[in-house]
Amino acid sequence: DAKTTQPNSMESNEEEPVHLPCNHSTISGTDYIHWYRQLPSQGPEYVIHGLTSNVNNRMASLAIAEDRKSSTLILHRATLRDAAVYYCILRDPPVTNFGNEKLTFGTGTRLTIIP
């Protein structure tokens, strides 16, 4: 699996936007970019995924660089509940070959929200 690089930690003020970066310079043309987060004492939780275009859902937005070597997860208005470890993960497209759907988690970014 291609490797991702994320900052170890970030802080943000409550109710302000948060931009979480991820570098993936060795991404292949078919790799999807996934984001999961793990709140304290909970299992990982899917946030969003994308391939080339920017994506939005109820939880966040994903901005993907034109060369796909980096991406940014955007939380538009952070709340205390968004304090978690955020993981950026690259995956082969699952629709073409159903096999081991293993997620390779790195160390992620620990996001602290300041009240």
**H/E/C letters for each residue in 71-114?**
EEEEECCCCHHHCEEEEEEEECCCCCCCCCCCCCCCCCEEEEEE
By C-beta, is 17 or 94 nearer to another protein?
A: 94
Alpha-carbon gap, residue 37 to 43, rounded angstroms = 9
Nearer to another protein among residue 34 and residue 70 (C-beta): 34
Nearest distance from C-beta of residue 47 to another protein, angstroms: 10
Residue 72 C-beta: closest distance to another protein, Å = 19
Identity of the residue, 20 or 35, whose beta carbon is nearer to another protein in the bound complex: 35
* Residues near another protein, by CB under 8 A: 32, 34, 41-46, 49, 91, 94-95, 98-103, 105-107
Nearer to another protein, 78 or 85 (CB): 85
Q: Tell me the closest approach of the beta carbon of residue 13 to another protein, in angstroms.
A: 28
User: Could you give the CA distance from residue 39 to residue 32 in angstroms, rounded to a whole number?
Assistant: 23
C-alpha to C-alpha distance for 76 and 9, rounded to whole angstroms? 18
